[in-house]
Structure 1
Amino acid sequence: MKRLQGIGVSPGVAIGPAYLLLTGNVKISRRILTPSQVEKEIDRLHRALATTIKDLEEVKRHIPPEMVQPLSIIDAHILMLKDPSLIRDTEQFIRRHYVNAEWALRKVLKKYQRVFDSLKDFYLRERIHDLEHLIERVILALQGQNESVEIEEPAIVIAHDLSPADTARLKPDTTQAFVTEVGSRTSHTAIVARSLGIPAVVAVKGVTEEISPGDLVIVDGLSGEVIVNPSQEVIEEFIDRRLECQLQRERFLDLAKEPAVTLDGRRVFVRANLELLDEIPMALEFGAEGVGLFRTEYLYVTKEGLPSEEELFINYRQVIEGIRPNIVTFRTLDIGGDKFAKELNLPAEINPALGLRAIRLCLKNIELFRTQLRAILRASVYGKIRIMFPLISGLNELLEAKKVLFEVLDELSQEGLEVDVPECGAMIEVPTAAAIADILAKEVDFFSIGTNDLIQYALAIDRGNEQVAHLYEPLHPGILRIIKHVAEAAKKTGIKVAMCGEMAGEPLCVPLLVGMGFDELSMNPQTIPIIKNIIRQISYEDCQKLAKEILSLSCAKEIRSYLEYWFQQKDLAF
């Protein structure tokens, strides 16, 4: 018996035989063309793109219409393959270098990888994996091959990786679960797995070597545990756990739309982190009380050049109307200037991750900022909104951002559009912002802590770097003290404090955050029913005592053990 550990991304327990699916980059070689072959090669590229799009349309045909998120993801993939800039860049590479389409696609992909790698938002950075999967599908089509997963008997799929389209093809009646060597909780593959109700664990290093075809495997999609060739005693334990998971899931969903109120009456708003308009139906289904973070970068990342004010307005209005009567919190543009270096005439940066990005980019390019603010404020008349500024590091940035906001409000008023002044917030992601939270709190209506970046900056860790990712620890005592300091500064000033990083959706952290005084938690929609259920089972008074005890501990391991023990003592399930 072997126990392997990964990241649980889709809850549920499965027991079954292993089905090994060997996937990976298709091997290609460079082929030099003669001038007369170039246009024929471009025609070949277009035929392969059309074949891949047709294949994705076929995948969509087998997805039930009520599964909005998988359908929207596949639609987004089809749009990516039709993207004029992707097609133009590939065509130009073929014409300029006289090479075959496969080679050109891989080279163009590297260009896009550099753009996405420079994004600060980890969630957006991960979208490059979708493009990588799509390019591989086009290359397979160029070579006359087809990438598909067909499983005839019930089994657990073991693979290096699965694309969202491959995951959407999986049939829950034959795919009991899947385990991959790479991936993350926020990947589109994970989102599709959760939509289909297929238990899944990702980031299990070496799993394709550790497991052989036919091995009996247990997968726990919540804890991330994978057990190979378990004993009879362990099998019986997990059969009971599987039944309990099914019953819990049904109970959580039944109560998902009820408010999250502690046993002693403290109300905590549980909201959704969204990026796409098509994610709204699922967020509402899972009980989201509005949007605590709407990432506005998608229209900027997925098209050539800058989106117009009208394009932004239409998108924002649809989001607001879709969530109404609840609130939408718009994060202003959180992207690096390297994405718009050509349009904005910006020089190259040695370290774009710490350079001209987010609020810094907007304040240096006021028209870029004004265009987005105009679109948000114009759309605000259709519902309730808030605006928050990312990557604030000091008071001057915040005051400058607010000044532009009020100038735009005055401008719209002069044009005859009366817009209410929206609540304005600062994202606390930079350690200096946390240190002066008491000063910043006097200038905003709320704080929203972006723990993903706050942890990276405070611990000096790039969690995308495999060499140091294990040091990325939300329960580090230093991180918890920073968070507590920000929450106390908000409370003393009388403003709301929210959290929109991954930590907000971690069940183990919820009582601690409630005890620190958080008013709002915002997360991936699928986690909302679980978090609401925990809040309903705890008291604010107990959580306050817990927070005090936790903050006296000296290391993350000790803190995690204490929280697990606390959950056991309270008989809390998640």
Structure 2
Amino acid sequence: MKGEPGHQEKRYHGVPAAPGIARGPIHVFSIETDDVVRYHVDPASVPDEIARFENALIQTRAQILEMQQQIAEAIGAKDAGIFDAHLLVVEDQTLIDEVLRKLEADHCNVEFTFQEVANRYVDSLSKIDDPYLRERAIDIQDVTRRVIRNLQGRSPRPFLSIDQPHILVAHNLTPSDTATMNREQVRGLVLDLGSRTSHTAIMAQSLGIPSVVGLHDATETLETGAPALIDGYHGLLIINPSEETLRKYEEIERQKGAIAESLTQLRETKSTTRDGRHIVLSANIELPDEVDAVLRHGAEGVGLYRTEFLYLNETTLPTEEEQFEVYLTVAERLAPDPLIIRTLDLGGDKVSDGIERGDELNPFLGWRAIRFCLENIDIFKAQLRAILRASVSPNVKMMFPMISGLEEVRRALEIVDECKNELRKEGQPFNDELDIGVMIEVPTAAIMADRLAREVDFFSIGTNDLIQYAVAIDRTNERVAHLYEPSHPSVVRLLKMVADAAHANGIWVGICGEMAGDVLFTPLLLGLGMDELSAGPTLVPQVKSAVQRLTITECERLVVEVLQLDTSAAILARCAEMAEKNYPELLG
């Protein structure tokens, strides 16, 4: 595909949201609004309107759950969790009560009343200069359209269905749009709005669709049919690409293809440095089906098995037996490589329908993970018993999330001992020497690492939360997202403190956050003394390649230098310099 004769190449710069290169004709998409007619309702008919409204909410909720399940099966529960925000809208009692009050007061049809109330919420949130709240406005718009179509007795509007490859250009897309679009034909995605942390951007990354967002007025200036090229690495949209531009990007694609091919050859090799230090390279998973990807990409087992998928979007809690069967199946498929099962981390952005919980102003700092488990002993015990029983496969290990101090660890270990005693009395086999570790995600745990290390068998550092809590920022909020800095001098010192404490007490330490999969930081992590790195399965080959090109000696020298630096930028630049020297082709 090349530019049309007589048409000059034009370049539009936006925000890179999902990496990759895509070519094709553009299709400019505009949302067709549903007309909602206002009409008077007799006061005696208001109960009927309320019943229609309640039925529409139930129907909408079922549709969202179905869509969420489809996304979970396609790309994982983490991305499907985006629709939890939609479920909260249909369950928002404040919004529902306001609709009911207006029905009683105005005697208008419920379609019009609901749209009026919802639009007022959307307008208010859209005017707030906060990306997180603007994202909530999009959620409400998405759900509003769905509820109204259900009230009107119409099926959900099918998203744009084009049976030819194209680059989709839109003002904005809701998560529902992204979930239901024809992903086989959408080569790339261009949006007027959005940020790299928006729901649509996150889903595009998981779906592998090159995307550029934040172009402001692309839908107004571009025309359907124009040939285009997307550079999702650098946030660039090129209309009518020239022959020279096409040749340049063909060479870039060829180089990246060659790199990808070379990385596949590493599957059977070990992640050992040039001076002989073996680094365990594991994978993070959340669904049993992801074991295929773990094996395919050459990881040495699973360093983080998220178990929340068993609880999310279920009206009843999973039984001990159901959990046991899932854990044992995964363990046997991975054997002899390890399977590290993280105990339940519900809360924050993960909520189960089977658990009663009140509203929290800041759920990420609230009743979640180990705090939840220690107050719900029956739920916790069911999972602990299932993990212990699955430990008849000797590669099973277990770790507790969100530990903040010794009291939580000791209480959790006491409950494990109670479960062991119960299983002994029942004659159930289990591994009495099961390794138990803790996740270091809270700064207090990092500071107390020397004491915590005496209680457990290993540490796994969850850098995503540790950085957020240490620097006090919400990385999904673009106003402060730039402050989310893995290279922050304080973060580097915390990581060193944890690694030193682990080794001083004879236990191993790993990283299971996003830092583990970023080859820019591989020299730093090795120099800090990390024994294990656990990343997304698809990132394992490039991390392995990076490890194989480094020496521990040079990585330790890097850490000595870095600890003398005062700024995140200086540390990042030094890490980039070493990465560029050893494996330039692995860098974006």
TM class by shorter chain equals 0.7 to 0.9
* Shift in Å, 1:462: 1.5
- Distance, in Å, in 1 between the alignment partners of 2:116 and 2:462 is 34
The aligned residue for residue 200 of structure 1 is 210
The answer to whether residue 22 in structure 2 is matched with residue 18 in structure 1 is: no
Please list the CA deviations of residues 163-217 of structure 1 after superposition, one character each: whole Å capped at 9, or x if unmatched: 4774675355x5332244447689697567656xx54236546374686236665
The answer to whether residue 467 in structure 2 is matched with residue 473 in structure 1 is: no
The aligned residue for residue 331 of structure 1 is 342
The aligned residue for residue 522 of structure 1 is 534
The answer to whether residue 522 in structure 2 is matched with residue 513 in structure 1 is: no
The structure with the largest alpha-carbon Rg is 2
- CA separation of 1:529/1:137 partners in 2, compared to 1, >3 Å: closer, same or farther? farther
The answer to whether residue 264 in structure 2 is matched with residue 260 in structure 1 is: no
- Distance, in Å, in 2 between the alignment partners of 1:339 and 1:162 is 20
8 Å CA contact retained: 2:308, 2:345: yes
Which runs of 5 or more structure 1 residues have no equivalent in the other structure? 61-66, 109-125
The aligned residue for residue 118 of structure 1 is none
- Aligned with residue 450 of structure 2, among 419, 424, 438: 438
Matches within 5 A, 1:150-549: 150-151=161-162, 153-159=164-170, 160-161=172-173, 163=175, 166=178, 169-170=181-182, 172=184, 174-180=185-191, 181-182=193-194, 198-201=208-211, 204=214, 206=216, 208=218, 212-213=222-223, 217-221=228-232, 223-229=233-239, 235-304=246-315, 306-336=317-347, 351-382=362-393, 384-420=395-431, 421-549=433-561
Please list the CA deviations of residues 534-559 of structure 1 after superposition, one character each: whole Å capped at 9, or x if unmatched: 22232332222233333332222233
Please list the CA deviations of residues 303-354 of structure 1 after superposition, one character each: whole Å capped at 9, or x if unmatched: 2354433343343334334433332212122234999999888776554432
One-letter amino acid of the structure 2 residue matched with residue 517 of structure 1: G
Which runs of 5 or more structure 2 residues have no equivalent in the other structure? 1-9, 104-108, 119-134
- Distance, in Å, in 1 between the alignment partners of 2:332 and 2:116 is 40
8 Å CA contact retained: 2:453, 2:507: yes
**Which shifted more, 160-169 or 41-50?**
41-50
Matches within 5 A, 1:142-153: 144=154, 146-151=157-162, 153=164
8 Å CA contact retained: 1:334, 1:357: yes
8 Å CA contact retained: 1:52, 1:138: no
TM (norm. structure 1) is 0.77
The answer to whether residue 15 in structure 2 is matched with residue 6 in structure 1 is: yes
**Which shifted more, 505-514 or 142-151?**
142-151
* Shift in Å, 1:457: 0.8
* Shift in Å, 1:498: 1.0
- Distance, in Å, in 2 between the alignment partners of 1:25 and 1:469 is 33
One-letter amino acid of the structure 1 residue matched with residue 335 of structure 2: R
- Distance, in Å, in 2 between the alignment partners of 1:127 and 1:30 is 26
- CA separation of 1:5/1:267 partners in 2, compared to 1, >3 Å: closer, same or farther? farther
8 Å CA contact retained: 1:320, 1:327: yes
- CA separation of 1:469/1:71 partners in 2, compared to 1, >3 Å: closer, same or farther? closer
| SS in structure 1 of the partner of residue 584 of structure 2 | coil
8 Å CA contact retained: 1:38, 1:94: no
- Distance, in Å, in 1 between the alignment partners of 2:568 and 2:220 is 29
The aligned residue for residue 125 of structure 2 is none
- Aligned with residue 70 of structure 1, among 58, 74, 92: 74
8 Å CA contact retained: 1:272, 1:522: yes
8 Å CA contact retained: 2:467, 2:485: yes
- Distance, in Å, in 2 between the alignment partners of 1:153 and 1:20 is 14
- Distance, in Å, in 1 between the alignment partners of 2:563 and 2:209 is 34
- CA separation of 1:170/1:207 partners in 2, compared to 1, >3 Å: closer, same or farther? farther
One-letter amino acid of the structure 2 residue matched with residue 212 of structure 1: L
- CA separation of 1:167/1:242 partners in 2, compared to 1, >3 Å: closer, same or farther? farther
- CA separation of 1:271/1:486 partners in 2, compared to 1, >3 Å: closer, same or farther? same
One-letter amino acid of the structure 2 residue matched with residue 161 of structure 1: L
- Distance, in Å, in 2 between the alignment partners of 1:553 and 1:27 is 60
Please list the CA deviations of residues 231-286 of structure 1 after superposition, one character each: whole Å capped at 9, or x if unmatched: 77655433311221222223323433533222222222222222222333233323
* Shift in Å, 1:522: 1.6
The aligned residue for residue 114 of structure 1 is none
8 Å CA contact retained: 1:68, 1:281: no
- Distance, in Å, in 2 between the alignment partners of 1:331 and 1:190 is 23
- Distance, in Å, in 2 between the alignment partners of 1:168 and 1:186 is 17
* Shift in Å, 1:412: 1.0
TM (norm. structure 2) is 0.76
* Shift in Å, 1:455: 0.8
- Distance, in Å, in 2 between the alignment partners of 1:280 and 1:485 is 33
One-letter amino acid of the structure 1 residue matched with residue 429 of structure 2: E
**Which shifted more, 42-51 or 135-144?**
42-51
| SS in structure 1 of the partner of residue 520 of structure 2 | helix
- Distance, in Å, in 1 between the alignment partners of 2:543 and 2:312 is 31
- CA separation of 1:72/1:560 partners in 2, compared to 1, >3 Å: closer, same or farther? closer
8 Å CA contact retained: 1:313, 1:379: yes
Q: State, as a whole percentage, how many aligned pairs show the same letter.
A: 35
**Which shifted more, 559-568 or 225-234?**
225-234
One-letter amino acid of the structure 1 residue matched with residue 554 of structure 2: D
- CA separation of 1:102/1:571 partners in 2, compared to 1, >3 Å: closer, same or farther? farther
- CA separation of 1:69/1:341 partners in 2, compared to 1, >3 Å: closer, same or farther? closer
The aligned residue for residue 130 of structure 2 is none
- Distance, in Å, in 2 between the alignment partners of 1:481 and 1:323 is 34
Matches within 5 A, 1:42-57: none
One-letter amino acid of the structure 1 residue matched with residue 159 of structure 2: S
- Distance, in Å, in 2 between the alignment partners of 1:74 and 1:388 is 19
The aligned residue for residue 113 of structure 1 is none
- Distance, in Å, in 1 between the alignment partners of 2:353 and 2:458 is 35
Please list the CA deviations of residues 99-152 of structure 1 after superposition, one character each: whole Å capped at 9, or x if unmatched: 7589879999xxxxxxxxxxxxxxxxx999999968855755665462223345
One-letter amino acid of the structure 1 residue matched with residue 235 of structure 2: E
